[in-house]
Amino acid sequence: MKIKDSVVFVTGANRGLGLAYVRELLSRGAKKVYAGVRDTASIALPGVIPIKLDVTNPDEVTAAAALCGDVTLLINNAGIAKAIGFLDPATIDTAREIFEANFYGPIRVTQAFAPILAANGGGAIINVLSVASWVNSGLLAPYAASKSAAWSFTNGLRAELSAQGTQVLGLHVGFMDTDMTKGFDAAKISPDEVAVKTLDGLEAGLEEVLADERTRAVKNGLSANPGIYLSPLKR
C-alpha cells in the first residue's frame, strides 16, 4: 500500500509514536489524516482532523467509524503501560484496564473499520505491538501479556482479512523515547525513526516490522535453546 493520497485513521495520535505517525503520513502525501484522541483540543497540526475517541468506549468507536467512511489505512496505536508485577494485589484490576486499551480496544476499532477498508478497496491495518509480545521480565507484566495477546490478534486478523485484500502489519519495537518510558534507564529509539521504518515496511508490502536491534535479537532468540523468553530481558 502507498501512503500518498491515502486516508488514515490513527488512534492515540496526540503524542509519542502516534504523533510521529501523523507527521510522517503528512510528509508522505497522505490525503487526509484523522487523529483519534480523547481530547480533541490536543490536536493542533494543520491538515489533521481530530476525532474524539477512547478505544475502550464502544459508542465513541462506532461514532468515529460513522464519521470516517473514507479511511484506507487504520493505525491501532493507542495503548497504556503500568509498571506492576503479577503478584501485586492490584494486578487483576490493573490488567483489566491495560487489556481494555491494548487488546480489546484494537479489536473494537478494527471491527468498526474493517468493513470501511473493504468498501474502499482493502487498504491496510497497522497494529503497534512490542518486543514484550515475546518476553516478559515481570516489570511491566500485564502490559507484556496484553501485547502477547495483541500479537495473536494481529496474526489471526491477517488471516481473516486476506479475502478482502487488507494488508495487516505488526510493528514490534522495544523502548522508545516517549512519555511512556520516562524514568526507564534503557537504550531508546526515536518514535520518528519507528514511524519511518513502519511506513517503509507498509509500502514494501511487509507483514511485520522489527524496528530496533533489541527487537530483532529477541525475535531471533525465540528458537534458541534455551529460548530467550526463559530469562528476564535486560534493559
**pLDDT value at position 230?**
84
Helix (H, G, I), strand (E, B) or coil at 164: helix
Q: Which of 32, 34, 147, 197 is catalytic?
A: 147
Verify whether residue 143 is a known catalytic residue: yes
**pLDDT value at position 233?**
62
Q: Which of 52, 143, 219, 229 is catalytic?
A: 143
What does the block give as the cell for 150?
A: 495483541
**Mean pLDDT of successive 10-residue stretches along the chain, which has 235 residues:** 97 95 98 97 93 98 98 98 96 98 98 98 98 93 98 98 98 82 69 97 98 94 89 63
Under 8 Å between Cβ of 123 and 1: yes
Helix (H, G, I), strand (E, B) or coil at 11: strand
**pLDDT value at position 234?**
59
Under 8 Å between Cβ of 133 and 150: yes
What distance, in Å, lies between the first and last C-alpha atoms of the chain? 35
**pLDDT value at position 175?**
85
**pLDDT value at position 177?**
75
Strands (E) in 42-191, as ranges, are 48-52, 73-76, 124-128, 167-172
Verify whether residue 82 is a known catalytic residue: no
Interior angle at CA 199, CA 13 and CA 205, nearest 5: 135
State the Cα–Cα distance between residues 7 and 21, nearest whole angstrom: 13
**pLDDT value at position 226?**
87
Helix (H, G, I), strand (E, B) or coil at 51: strand
**pLDDT value at position 155?**
98
Please give the model's pTM, rounded to 2 decimal places: 0.94
Kindly state which CATH superfamily the domain 7-230 is placed in: NAD(P)-binding Rossmann-like Domain (3.40.50.720)
State the Cα–Cα distance between residues 17 and 212, nearest whole angstrom: 14
b/e code 51-74 from CB counts within 10 Å (16+ = b)? bebbbbbeebbeebbeebeebbbb
**pLDDT value at position 182?**
57
